[in-house]
Amino acid sequence: MTTPRSKLRPSSSLQNHWELVYKSQNHAQVSWHQKHSTTSLDWILEHTKPSQDIIDVGSGVSILTDNLIEEGYSNLSAVELSESAIIATQKRLGGKESLVRFYCQNILDFETDQRFDLWHDRAVFHFLTHESEQKKYINKLNTHLAIGGYFLLATFAPDGPTICSNLDVASYDEKAVRALLADDFRMIKTASEDHITPTGKLHQFNYFLLQKISTPPKNTGVV
* Model pLDDT, residue 195: 82
Residue 50's φ and ψ, nearest 5 degrees, are -60, -20
pTM of the model: 0.87
Residue from 163, 168, 130, 148 nearest 211 by CA? 148
What are the C-alpha distances in Å from 121 to residues 7, 23, 26, 64, 180? 23, 22, 22, 11, 15
**Structural domains for the chain:** 35-185 (3.40.50.150)
Angstrom distance (rounded) from CA 3 to CA 6: 9
* Model pLDDT, residue 34: 74
Task: Compute the CA torsion angle 181, 186, 187, 188 (nearest 10 deg).
Answer: -150
Angstrom distance (rounded) from CA 91 to CA 83: 12
Q: Which helix (H) or strand (E) holds 79?
A: strand 76-80
Which amino acid, 183?
D
Residue from 106, 87, 85 nearest 9 by CA? 106
* Model pLDDT, residue 184: 93
End-to-end CA distance of the chain: 21
Per residue of the chain (223 residues), what is the pLDDT tens digit? 544 433 444 456 877 877 887 777 765 656 555 777 899 999 999 999 999 999 999 999 999 999 999 999 999 999 999 999 999 999 999 999 999 999 999 999 999 999 999 999 998 999 999 999 999 999 999 999 999 999 999 999 999 878 887 889 999 999 999 999 988 999 999 999 988 877 787 889 999 999 999 876 665 444 4
147: three-class secondary structure by DSSP = strand
24: three-class secondary structure by DSSP = helix
Give the pairing of strands 76-80 and 100-104.
parallel
